[in-house]
Structure 1
Amino acid sequence: MTATGPPARTAGPAGSAAGLGRAAAARARRPGPYLLVGAAYWLVLSVVLRHTPPASDFGQHAAAVEQVREDWRHPANPLLAAPGTGSPYYSPYIVGLGLLAKASGVAGWVALRWCGALNVAVLVAGVGAYARTLSARALAPVYALAAFSLLWGVRGTEWSGFCGVWSLTRGASYPSAFAVGLTFLLWAWTDRLVTTPAGPRAARRWGAHAALGAAGGVLLLIHPITALAAAVGALATVAARQRTWSWHIGAGWAVTAAAAAGAAAAWPYFDVWTLAGDATLDAVHRTLYQQPLRWYGLAAVGLPALVWRARAGGRWGARDPLVLMFAADCAIAGYGWLSGHYTYGRVFALLLVPPQFALAVELAELPRWTRLRRVLAPLAAAALCCGLAAQIGAVVPRRLLPVDLGHPVRWHDYRWVVARTHQGDVVLTDSYQASHVLPAYGIRLVAPTWPDPSTPPAERDRRFGDLFAYLDSATPDPVRRDIAHRWGARWLLLGQDEHIPYQGTLVAWDVPSHERLIRLDAADGGGSGGG
C-alpha cells in the first residue's frame, strides 16, 4: 500500500496575480543601482573630508560662519578687524550654518566641516533627480554621476564650484558645492512643473511656481554665478519641454520669476544686484580660460552624444534641453573671454553638464548593437579611466597606489599659531597658506585673502600697501610701528626667507614650514585697528 500525500496545489489566476504582486513589491523594496553607487560615493567622500585639513577657501567661509555665530544681526568682516556690512559672504548658507553653530555650541569651522557630507548628499540626490528627467533607465543616473565626477580635465584640478572628485575633497563644504547640488534639484523641479498637466487647482500649481522661484532666489544669494547657469538650465528645460502655452502657464512662470527676485531683494545682509558689474575678481578667474585641456578636456568625449541629440528627429530634436543649455552656457563663457570679465568663466562648472549627461543618457538609452553606442562606449570607458587616474590620488593614500598618480598638496597645520594667540587677534603675514587657514580659527588679517565688496577698494589697496611696506626690510622702524598700530596687529608671522627687524619676542618656530611667530611689543602694535 502506497501512502499518498495531499494533492499538489495549482495556482489559479488569483494565485498568479498574488505572486506577481509579491514579486513587484520585492523589486520595489530592492535598492536600485543608483542608491548603492550614490551611497558608496557619499561614504568615500565623507571619510576623505573628515581627514582633510583646512585649506584653500575653507578659512574664509569658516570665519564667516564664526562671525554669524558671534553676532548674527551684525556680523563683522570675516577676514579683517572691520565691520562686515554689505559683505556677500553672509549668504543664507553661511547664516544658516552660523545659527546652527550657535545653537549647538560648536565652533564655526567645525560646523562648516561637517556640512561637507550634507553637501555631497545634496549633490548626489540632485544628479540622480535630474538624470531621471532625461531617461527612465536605471543606469542613467549611475552613468551621470560617474561622468559628472570624472570627466573633467586630464589632471586633477581644484576650484570652488567645480565638482570633480579632486575638487570636492576640499570644496565640498563650500557654499558653491551646495549651490550646484541645489541647481540639479531645481532643474528636476522645473521639469516636473513643465511636464505635469495643469490640474483644476491652479492656485496650488501657482504655489509650486512661487516656491520654485523662492528657492531660485536663495540660490542667487548663495552663489550668483551658479544661479546664472541654473537659470539658463531652467529656461532651456521650459523651452524644450513646454509644448503648449496659455495665459495661466505664462502667468505661472511669471510668478516664478517674481518670487526669485523678491526673495533675493528681501535678504537683509547684502544687495546681490550690486555684484552684477563687480570686476574685482576677474583677474583671478583668467586662469579658467588658459588651460582648457587640463581643466575640461575629458568632457569633450560627450560632444558626439550631444550632437546626436541635436539632430532633427532625435528624442527632442533641436529643442533638446541639454543642447539649448550648452549653447547658452558657451555664449556666457565666450562673453567672459571677449569682454575680459573672466569671472563668468565659472559657468564652466555647469557648462560641462550637457556633454557629460548626454553621454550618460545615450549610453543608457541606445541599444547595444547601434553604431553610435559601439563608438561611444569605448570612448567613454577610456575617458573615465583617464579621469579616474587623474583624480584617484585625492581619495586614495599614496601608499595604497602602485604608482604615484598625483595627490593634492597637503597644507601646513597652523594650530601651533592658534594655540598661542587669541580669537580676534590680528596677524601680520603675507603667507598664502597662513592667510587662508588662520581666519578659520578667528584670527584676523591686515589684508584680505580675497577682496570683499564690503571693504572699499581704496582701503583694500591701503591695507595691501601697508602689509608690503611692513615686510620690506628697507622700511624704517617708526613707519613699521605706525603700520602695526594702525591695524591693531599683535603678531607677526614670518616665512623662511623673510628677514626684517622687529620689536618683539620670538614665541614659536614651526619646523615643517620654517615659519616664525613673533609677539609684537605693545609700542610696536596692539592698536585698535581700523583705517
Structure 2
Amino acid sequence: MRTVPPEAEPVSRTGPPAGAARAGRALPPAAAALVVVLLLLVVVRLPWAGDLGMHAATIQRLRHDLLHPGNPLVDADTPSPYYSPWMLVLGVTAKLTGLSVFVVLRIAALVGLSLLVTGVRRYVRTLSAHPMAPALALLSLLFLWGTLLFNWSGFLGLNSLALTVSYPSVLALGLTFHFWAWLSRAVRQEAAWGTWLWLGALWALILLCHQFTGVVASLGALATVIAARPARAVLPRLAAAPALGLLLLWLWPYYDFFSLFSAGADLEAIHKPLYEDLAARFGLVLLGVAALVLRFRRDRWDPLVLFFVLGALVFAAGGLTGHYSWGRALPAALIPAQLAAALEVVSAGRRAVRAGWACVLCAALAVGAWTQIGTLGYVTGRAALPSPVAARYRTPWVGYHWITPWVKYGDVVMARTFPARQIPAYGAYTVAPGYPDVFLRDAARREAAVARYFAAGTSAADRAGIVRGYDVKWVVGPESLTGPGLRKVTVGPGGQVLYRVVR
C-alpha cells in the first residue's frame, strides 16, 4: 500500500517580514469567507433560472403524495429521476412544516452549500496540510474558469453556483468531496468493513441525488483507489462498497436507475453546447493543467493527475462519438486541474517558485472573478451596480406567481416551453413538459399538441379538441390569442395573459 505524506511549507531562513507573511496567509481565507457570505446572501434572494421550477415542482408532488407523486410536470402517472432521497427529505419537510417550496429550497441551499464548503476542506486536507490550501482550493474551484460566463448545474463556477445553489447537484457535489476525503483515508489506512459499506451507501446516495455528479464522483473514486495501490488484503472490503451501492440503486423504489443508461439519446441535443467555446469558457483551467504536469513529474501516481486523465478521456469520448451527454463528466477534468493550480502555491519547491506561482494564480483568479462579477447583482439588484458590473449581470427569471390567485394545485395549464419550465413550481401541471422527460412516453405527442394549439392557422374546433383531450383549465399565452373558448383573466410580466378556458 502506498502512503502519501501531507505537504508542509518548507522552512527558509530568509524571506519577507513576519507581518507581511501573516497578512499573505490571511488573505486567501478572508477572500474565501467573503465569497461564502456572498453565496449565503444569494440564498436569501434565490434567483430563478434554469431548473429551479423542476425542483420546486418535485417538492410540490412529494408534499401532496409521498408514495405515488406521479410526473412532476404533467398530469401523468410516471416515475421520475428527480425523485431522489434528498428530494424526498425536502418533500417530507414541506409536508410536515407547511412551508412553501421556495422556503424549503432555501433550506436545501444552506445544507448543500455547507456540505460543499466543508467537503472541499476535508478533501483538500488529504492532499495538503498547508493551512492556506483549503481556501485557495475553494477560490480556484469558483473562479478558475474562463473569460466567457458559463452556467450549468454540476459545475462550480461562482455564477453557476449562485443560480443552482438550491439544486440537488450542489448537495451531491458536497457529498462527493466528503466521499473522496473519506475514501482517501480508508484506502490508505486499510479501514474496517463497516467503513467500506458506508462508503458504498454514500456513493449510491450521490448517484441517486444527481446522476451526472455521480459519474464525476465515481471517476474521482477510481483515481483515488488507483493512486493508493491498496494491498491485496483490502480488495475484498473495497469491492463490498460498490456492491452495496449497486444493490441500493436497484432497490430505490421511485424510478429505475439502470434504465437511465438507455436514455442518453434523448439528452444529446441539449448537452451539445458543452462542447462549444471551450477556450473562452475554460481557458484559465490551463494553468491547472500545467500544475498537473508538475505534479506528474514529482509523482507518477498522483491522484489528481489520474482523476484529470479519466475525466478528460470521458469528455473527449463524448465529443468524438456524439454522446454529448457525456460532457457532464467535464467537472472530473476541471476539478483536479483547479485543485492542482491552488496546491502548487503551497507545494512547489523553493520560496521564489511558490511566490511566482501565487502571482500567476492570483492574476488568473482576478480575471475569472471579473468574468463572474455580475453575480453581485443577485444580492444587490442591477440598479445598485456600477455600470461596468451591471453590464455583466444576467437578469433572473421573473416567475409565474402572478397566476396563483386563480390557478390551483393540479390544474392543467396550456403554455409554451419557457413558461412550462416555471408554472409547475406553483402546483399546476402543463400539457407538455418544459424539460426532456425520459419516462414520459407521449412527450412528443404532447409537444406537438402545444405547438398546434398556438399555431396561427389552427381552427377553434381543433383547439377545443386539444383542450378537452388534456383537461386544460387555463392558457398562458400572448394577448393576440383569441377564441370563443377563452376568457381573459389577468396580464402578467412581458404582456403574457392568463386565460380561463370556458366550456
CA distance in 2, matches of 1:211, 1:333: 29
| Aligned: 1:363 with 2:334 | no
Aligned 8 A contact 1:426 1:444 in 2: yes
Of 376, 382, 385, the residue aligned with 1:395 is: 376
Q: CA deviation at 1:427?
A: 1.1
Q: Which residue of 2 aligns with 1:265?
A: 250
Cα 1:53–1:361 shift into 2, 3 Å:
closer
Q: Secondary structure at the match of 2:388?
A: coil
CA distance in 2, matches of 1:75, 1:301: 47
Further displaced range: 102-111 or 325-334: 102-111
For residues 219-258 of structure 1, the aligned pairs below 5 Å read 219-242=206-229, 244-247=230-233, 249-258=234-243
Q: Secondary structure at the match of 1:160?
A: coil
Q: CA deviation at 1:473?
A: 1.6
Of 208, 211, 216, the residue aligned with 2:198 is: 211
| Aligned: 1:277 with 2:271 | no
Deviations 1:314-368 (A, max 9, x none): 1xx1110011011111111011111211111011133201110001111022255
CA distance in 2, matches of 1:500, 1:277: 42
Aligned 8 A contact 2:56 2:102 in 1: yes
CA distance in 2, matches of 1:270, 1:120: 27
Of 462, 471, 475, the residue aligned with 1:479 is: 462
Q: CA RMSD in A?
A: 2.0
Deviations 1:265-290 (A, max 9, x none): 11111111111121211100000001
Q: CA deviation at 1:38?
A: 5.3
Q: CA deviation at 1:453?
A: 2.1
Deviations 1:42-80 (A, max 9, x none): 332121121134332111111111111111111121100
CA distance in 2, matches of 1:270, 1:79: 16
After TM superposition, the score normalised by the length of structure 2 is 0.90
Aligned 8 A contact 2:475 2:498 in 1: yes
For residues 458-469 of structure 1, the aligned pairs below 5 Å read 459-469=442-452
Cα 1:479–1:177 shift into 2, 3 Å:
same
CA distance in 1, matches of 2:66, 2:388: 49
| Aligned: 1:384 with 2:337 | no
Aligned 8 A contact 2:307 2:332 in 1: no
Aligned 8 A contact 2:417 2:434 in 1: no
Q: Secondary structure at the match of 1:177?
A: helix
Q: CA deviation at 1:35?
A: 7.2
Q: Secondary structure at the match of 1:479?
A: helix
| Aligned: 1:301 with 2:252 | no
CA distance in 1, matches of 2:276, 2:140: 23
Aligned 8 A contact 1:49 1:170 in 2: no
Q: CA deviation at 1:94?
A: 0.9
CA distance in 2, matches of 1:454, 1:70: 21
Of 456, 461, 475, the residue aligned with 1:492 is: 475
Aligned 8 A contact 1:472 1:500 in 2: no
Q: CA deviation at 1:403?
A: 2.0
AA aligned opposite 1:194: V
Aligned 8 A contact 1:42 1:121 in 2: no
Aligned 8 A contact 1:33 1:142 in 2: no
Q: Which residue of 1 aligns with 2:23?
A: none
CA distance in 1, matches of 2:101, 2:42: 20
Of 90, 109, 117, the residue aligned with 1:97 is: 90
Q: CA deviation at 1:238?
A: 1.3
Q: Secondary structure at the match of 1:276?
A: helix
Deviations 1:490-509 (A, max 9, x none): 1111136x545352211111
For residues 71-90 of structure 1, the aligned pairs below 5 Å read 71-84=65-78, 86-90=79-83
CA distance in 1, matches of 2:491, 2:368: 40
AA aligned opposite 2:308: F
CA distance in 1, matches of 2:253, 2:399: 36
CA distance in 2, matches of 1:350, 1:330: 7
AA aligned opposite 1:146: L
Aligned 8 A contact 2:275 2:319 in 1: yes
Q: Which residue of 1 aligns with 2:416?
A: 430
Deviations 1:82-140 (A, max 9, x none): 113x2111111111111111121213332123211211111101111111111000001
For residues 493-508 of structure 1, the aligned pairs below 5 Å read 493-495=476-478, 499-508=481-490
Deviations 1:413-444 (A, max 9, x none): 32111222111111111151x22221111121
CA distance in 2, matches of 1:381, 1:89: 39
Aligned 8 A contact 2:296 2:305 in 1: yes
AA aligned opposite 1:211: W
Further displaced range: 99-108 or 298-307: 99-108
Aligned 8 A contact 1:45 1:395 in 2: no
Identity of aligned residues (%): 35
Aligned 8 A contact 1:153 1:296 in 2: yes
Q: Which residue of 2 aligns with 1:12?
A: none
Q: CA deviation at 1:189?
A: 0.5
Q: CA deviation at 1:402?
A: 5.8
AA aligned opposite 2:249: A
CA distance in 2, matches of 1:76, 1:35: 46
Gaps of 5+ in 1: 1-31, 199-204, 523-531
CA distance in 1, matches of 2:244, 2:221: 15
Aligned 8 A contact 1:169 1:395 in 2: no
CA distance in 2, matches of 1:264, 1:206: 20
Q: Secondary structure at the match of 1:83?
A: coil
Q: CA deviation at 1:370?
A: 4.2
Q: Which residue of 2 aligns with 1:192?
A: 185
| Aligned: 1:453 with 2:438 | yes
Of 39, 46, 56, the residue aligned with 1:52 is: 46
Q: Secondary structure at the match of 1:513?
A: helix
Gaps of 5+ in 2: 1-25
Cα 1:197–1:256 shift into 2, 3 Å:
closer
Further displaced range: 295-304 or 172-181: 295-304
AA aligned opposite 2:494: S
CA distance in 1, matches of 2:29, 2:185: 21
Q: Which residue of 1 aligns with 2:12?
A: none
Deviations 1:128-154 (A, max 9, x none): 111111100000111100000111221
Of 507, 517, 526, the residue aligned with 2:498 is: 517
For residues 140-151 of structure 1, the aligned pairs below 5 Å read 140-151=133-144
Aligned 8 A contact 1:412 1:513 in 2: no
Aligned 8 A contact 2:29 2:132 in 1: no
AA aligned opposite 1:475: T
Aligned 8 A contact 1:65 1:109 in 2: no
Q: Which residue of 2 aligns with 1:14?
A: none
CA distance in 1, matches of 2:273, 2:29: 36
Aligned 8 A contact 1:66 1:109 in 2: no
Aligned length: 473
Aligned 8 A contact 2:46 2:106 in 1: no
Aligned 8 A contact 2:421 2:433 in 1: no
Further displaced range: 52-61 or 215-224: 52-61
